[in-house]
């Protein structure tokens, strides 16, 4: 541990003690000793978590992984490993993020959002992690300020709740955008597969057929067309066909895309005909879409029971029973 880190830890403990002392208005030695123990305990928990995350991460000299180089590393299959910080970035937060991203589980967790949103630059794991930390800090500060504004005492648990809520907010927003993108990709998939089968039947291979369809039919590119275009570009850059297709299945992680990729890879490996398989696949997708629509229509009546019981039935009962209630109030009772 270098002297700068030690000084930072001491300043952090002193700041935490001063904040808790002013909040509780207790400056007695016993109170200060308690606050020092609390601040040191939180710092010890943080240090333990940082060491634990680093222990499960890959070693610095692991082959094929370079988390400190500040660049992408291409491997077989087109997968990328991400750097946590550049070589000149030695700030405290960057070193923490480097340690966090050294854990493969956390990196995989962040890469799902990156691939799911078509490898956008603002969704790279290190950028996404910094954004999540900023939202977490805003959530913690906001909940703490709200607690103080309501006249309540400072509660570290509420600040932690605010940090966790803000920390996962960008990820939840990304998952929502990924789900929307997947639905848009599936909308045009049956028509695209039908056109693919038709052009393959005319004598073209499936790559030339995809290129022809993109050039002549789908001029306004949606999510599916962007993914097919990415496949074509990766193949032009030298990727094997199967790897480019598997990368598309990784980016659009839905069953229909994985099944289509499996059919195309099987055709490459075994030399089987694609026309009838693609037509059956397209018809099966339409049948499943119809089945899902019928299932949603069947569930609609059950889902309507809740709003009807809360909003409609009480109004009906009030309209029916209102005359009897008025008669009871005005007449003093009901005559038999």
Enter the tokens of residue 261.
């990729």
pLDDT of residue 113: 83
Q: What is the pLDDT of residue 79?
A: 41
Angle between helices 189-201 and 255-270 (to 10 degrees): 20
Q: Give pLDDT, residue 57.
A: 44
pTM of the model: 0.59
What was the pLDDT predicted at 219? 63
Give how far Cα 162 sits from Cα of 22, 135, 148, 197, 285, Å.
Answer: 22, 9, 14, 53, 43
pLDDT tens, per residue, the chain with 336 residues: 555 566 666 767 777 777 777 777 777 777 777 777 777 766 666 665 556 555 544 443 333 333 333 333 333 344 444 443 344 455 667 777 888 788 788 888 788 888 888 777 888 888 888 888 888 888 888 888 888 777 777 777 777 888 888 888 888 888 888 888 888 888 888 888 888 888 888 888 888 888 888 888 766 678 888 888 888 888 888 889 889 898 888 888 888 888 888 888 888 888 778 888 888 888 888 888 888 888 888 888 888 888 888 888 888 888 888 887 777 777 655 554
DSSP H helical ranges for 188-205: 189-201
Would you call 73 helix, strand, or coil by DSSP?
strand
SS3 content of the chain, % helix, strand, coil (to 5): 75, 0, 20
Rounded to the nearest 10 degrees, the angle between the axes of helix 104-116 and helix 125-149 is 100
User: What integer pLDDT is reported at residue 150 of this predicted model?
Assistant: 78
Query: CB–CB of 139/167 below 8 Å?
Result: yes
| Residue 203 to residues 196, 206, 235, 276, Cα–Cα distance (Å) | 11, 10, 21, 14
- Rounded to 10 deg, the angle between the 3-24 and 29-56 helix axes is 140
């Amino acid at each position: 541990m270098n002297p700068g880190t030690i000084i930072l830890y001491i300043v952090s403990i002193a700041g935490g003690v001063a904040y808790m002392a002013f909040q509780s208005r207790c400056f007695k030695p016993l109170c200060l000793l308690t606050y020092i123990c609390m601040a040191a305990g939180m710092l010890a928990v943080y240090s333990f978590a940082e060491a634990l995350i680093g222990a499960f991460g890959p070693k610095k000299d692991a082959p094929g992984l370079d988390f400190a180089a500040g660049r992408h590393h291409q491997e077989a299959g087109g997968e990328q490993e991400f750097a946590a910080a550049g070589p000149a970035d030695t700030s405290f937060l960057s070193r923490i993020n480097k340690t966090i991203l050294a854990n493969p589980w956390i990196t995989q967790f962040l890469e799902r959002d990156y691939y799911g949103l078509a490898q956008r630059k603002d969704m790279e794991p290190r950028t996404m992690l910094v954004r999540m930390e900023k939202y977490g800090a805003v959530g913690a500060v906001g909940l703490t300020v709200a607690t103080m504004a309501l006249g309540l005492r400072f509660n570290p648990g509420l600040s932690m709740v605010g940090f966790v809520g803000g920390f996962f907010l960008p990820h939840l927003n990304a998952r929502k955008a990924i789900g929307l993108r997947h639905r848009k990709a599936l909308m045009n998939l049956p028509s695209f597969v039908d056109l693919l089968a038709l052009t393959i039947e005319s004598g073209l291979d499936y790559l030339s057929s995809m290129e022809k369809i993109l050039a002549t039919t789908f001029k306004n590119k949606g999510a599916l067309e962007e993914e097919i275009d990415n496949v074509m570009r990766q193949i032009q850059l030298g990727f094997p066909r199967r790897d480019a297709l598997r990368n598309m299945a990784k980016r659009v992680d839905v069953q229909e895309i994985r099944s289509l990729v499996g059919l195309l890879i099987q055709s490459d490996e075994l030399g089987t005909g694609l026309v009838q398989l693609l037509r059956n696949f397209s018809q099966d997708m339409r049948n499943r879409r119809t089945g899902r629509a019928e299932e949603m229509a069947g569930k609609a009546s059950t889902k309507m029971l809740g709003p009807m019981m809360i909003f409609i039935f009480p109004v009906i009962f009030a309209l029916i029973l209102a005359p009897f209630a008025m008669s009871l109030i005005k007449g003093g009772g009901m005559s038999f």
